[in-house]
Structure 1
Amino acid sequence: MKKIVDLEEVLFKKGFKFIDVRSPKEYKTDTIPGSINIPLLDDMDREQVGKVYKEKGPHEAKVLGLKLVSGRLFDLVNKISSFSQSGLKPVVFCWRGGMRSHAVVTLVDLMGEEVYQLRGGYKAYRRYVNKFFEQYEVLPLKFVVLYGLTGVGKTEVLRELKKLGENVIDLEKAANNRGSVFGDIGLGTQPSQKSFESYIFKSIMNGKEDKPYFVECESKRIGRLIVPSSVYKGMQRGRKILIYASMESRINRILKDYAADLSESRKKELSQALLKLKNRLGSRKVQWLIDLVEKEKYEEVICYLLEKYYDPLYGYPSGPDSKYELCIKNENSKETAVVLRDYFNNIK
């Protein structure tokens, strides 16, 4: 049985499985949370079909598309049918709920399996996400924002809170960037803006309504990605928690994050990042730091950057401060997460 469904009927509902039949490149750019990619056309196929469509017209493009997919239809239908047979209801979508998803759904239906086609496809999902972020000037969520100097372990605390079942929006994980000139070291490329927004959207929609959302204080821009305005404004109005730690533990955390890999390529990444600080630190000082990296004197580099660059830049207190609702010395992130969970559970 095939049926056309609207996004609101199936999004984040149990028992459904989203099947993205777009090309791998489209899928990688962004997709509906929880989807798997079973492409009707691969990237090269889609490029060929698009070229024929422009040069010869839609009929010739359809003929080429049928020729390209004919050899893989059996496996494709089999994969989708397996979800139906396991008790999940497949919801198939393409870019706008058109020919690709319709063709696949028709074939699966002919096999006698239950299958659904998403009306409007991926574009319907993007409209839904855009509306979600844009309908409010300030997103009406209870944000708890962790502030603190570089290396105090804010991200570690967020991850421990997540393990405890608390609502967490890990913006650095979503952006695949730590939010500084060294933010992309060892992490590779950032996702698309759409994928970044999807991660935030999913984190919010999967949250428990009776709990606040813990988030780390970030700039509106993380690498090349932008935090949605309504989310950012909500964070600015959130409850402020200060996390602080000893210089020794801060250095050790940064060593673990940035200098665990002592390969030549990692040294090169660190040196290139240091070059971006010439205007702030001066050419001689930057070259001195690069020389220290070459000698693997990472602790000295980190200590200097914390004292002379990061701490003055961000200006957060290094100890308790009355401007914050709660101040916690973080020498153990698991224990800090428990303190935060218990504190906010007790003041409902």
Structure 2
Amino acid sequence: MQRQIQRRKLDGELPHGLILDARSPAEFAIDHIPGAINLPTLDDQQRHEVGTLYTQVNPFQARLKGAAYANRNIADYIERYALDWPPNHPMWVYCWRGGQRSGSLALVLNEIGFKPTLINGGYKHWRNQVIAELPGAIADLDWRVLSGATGTGKTALLHQLQAQGQPILDLEGMANHRGSLLGHLDPQPSQRGFETQLYWALKHLPAGAQVWVESESARIGQLTVPEPLMRAIQSAPQVEVIDSIDERVQRLLGDYAHYCGGQTDLKGQLSRLRGRYANDTIQGWFDSIDRGDWSALVASLLHEHYDPTYAHGQKRLSSHAKQVVNRSGLTPQACVERLLQLAS
């Protein structure tokens, strides 16, 4: 007797175990449930071909062609992957709406003896859950904002806080961007993918946990920080890290060494600031590049661009609970200990 395939909505739950995404690679690349494995019932070209048959010929021919492709693809996945899967391991399967593509994959797995659960509503249901629950997940946490001008080493300090067991939210890591003019680390995720990472990370933190996050602008490269999180950052207690200009320059020379080696179009990046700064200022930066005078370039960029931009952004943050740590002369460990003292 054929066993019934279980269907269920997540209802706020995070799927665990083996998560199989039956959508096409292009759909998967835009966004997916974290940890999911992409086993497309139809690949991108096949999906396009079947869709064309559906609209230009008839649905029957489309389903016929789709079934042939799907059976061959699923058979390939069984041979390549399923032999290593424990039969009683939790297994979730989904496609766009939990329909034919995930249903076909789940049917075969179920007949073999696995126990797949179809996510009712598929990716669309997951996406709606992210949108609905993200604001509440943000509001449930006790935020601490780590601020500081460019070059004060905030990201490294954030990771050291994490190494000491402190919950953090690494927005720049999730966005694959350092949050500045020269901070791109292509490729960035999609906006949906970024929001999924945020939701997944926050849902794994206990309600009321104290969480450290860097002060950020509303845009990190091409991505937008969700408005509820921006409001939380702007109103939370902050600890500002300050350091000497010489230390900041040296730190940035290490962090952005790839620009000094000529592997990137630094002049092209700085040219995006034309119209914002005088031509003489930009030409001065170009002259420093031509001379290889990287320290002078970084110092000038801090003075002319980064520090004024940071000062303007600071106006958005709460000042009623602001603490300051001067890290000059402090080891990273001592700086972290001071941060924790002020945040307690």
Return the TM-score normalized by structure 2: 0.88
Mapped contact 1:242–1:324 kept (Cα < 8 A): no
Tell me if 1:259 matches 2:262. Answer: no
Q: Distance in 2 between matches of 1:63 and 1:301?
A: 64
Partner of 2:178: 178
Mapped contact 1:139–1:233 kept (Cα < 8 A): no
Mapped contact 1:151–1:251 kept (Cα < 8 A): yes
Mapped contact 2:30–2:192 kept (Cα < 8 A): yes
Q: Shift of the alpha carbon at 1:61?
A: 1.7
Q: Distance in 2 between matches of 1:4 and 1:83?
A: 24
Q: Deviations over 1:140-199 (max 9, x none)?
A: 421101111111011111122222232211111122222222221xx1132111011111
Mapped contact 2:87–2:114 kept (Cα < 8 A): no
- Within 5 Å, give how 1:63-74 maps onto structure 2: 63-74=64-75
Q: Shift of the alpha carbon at 1:328?
A: 1.9
Mapped contact 1:92–1:101 kept (Cα < 8 A): yes
Q: Flag the 1:202–1:335 CA change in 2: closer, same or farther, 3 A.
A: farther
User: What is the aligned-residue RMSD (CA, Å)?
Assistant: 2.5
Q: Flag the 1:263–1:76 CA change in 2: closer, same or farther, 3 A.
A: same
Secondary structure of 2:92's counterpart equals strand
Mapped contact 2:260–2:294 kept (Cα < 8 A): no
Q: Shift of the alpha carbon at 1:121?
A: 0.6
Where do 5+ consecutive residues of structure 2 fail to align? none
Mapped contact 2:242–2:326 kept (Cα < 8 A): yes
Partner of 1:19: 20
Q: Distance in 1 between matches of 2:333 and 2:54?
A: 57
Q: Deviations over 1:23-45 (max 9, x none)?
A: 11111111112212122222222
Q: Distance in 1 between matches of 2:106 and 2:79?
A: 12
Tell me if 1:326 matches 2:294. Answer: no
Q: Distance in 2 between matches of 1:25 and 1:8?
A: 26
- Within 5 Å, give how 1:221-232 maps onto structure 2: 221-232=219-230
- Percent of aligned pairs with the same amino acid: 30
Q: Distance in 2 between matches of 1:241 and 1:92?
A: 44
Between the two proteins, the alignment pairs up a number of residues equal to 334
Partner of 1:249: 247
Secondary structure of 1:7's counterpart equals coil
Mapped contact 1:140–1:234 kept (Cα < 8 A): no
Counterpart of 1:249 in structure 2: which amino acid? Answer: E
Tell me if 1:315 matches 2:311. Answer: yes
Partner of 2:211: 213
2:280 to 280, 284, 296: 284
Q: Shift of the alpha carbon at 1:78?
A: 4.6
Tell me if 1:163 matches 2:166. Answer: no
Counterpart of 1:337 in structure 2: which amino acid? Answer: V
Partner of 2:269: 273
Mapped contact 1:147–1:154 kept (Cα < 8 A): yes
Q: Deviations over 1:284-325 (max 9, x none)?
A: 2212212322333221110111122211222289xxxx9654
Secondary structure of 2:18's counterpart equals strand
Counterpart of 2:301 in structure 1: which amino acid? Answer: L
Mapped contact 2:147–2:238 kept (Cα < 8 A): yes
Tell me if 1:293 matches 2:289. Answer: yes
Partner of 1:6: 9
Where do 5+ consecutive residues of structure 1 fail to align? none
Secondary structure of 1:279's counterpart equals coil
Moved more, 152-161 or 94-103: 152-161
Partner of 1:192: 190
Q: Flag the 1:127–1:323 CA change in 2: closer, same or farther, 3 A.
A: closer
Partner of 2:147: 147
Counterpart of 2:196 in structure 1: which amino acid? Answer: S
Counterpart of 1:340 in structure 2: which amino acid? Answer: L
Partner of 2:298: 302
Q: Flag the 1:324–1:245 CA change in 2: closer, same or farther, 3 A.
A: farther
Tell me if 1:61 matches 2:62. Answer: yes
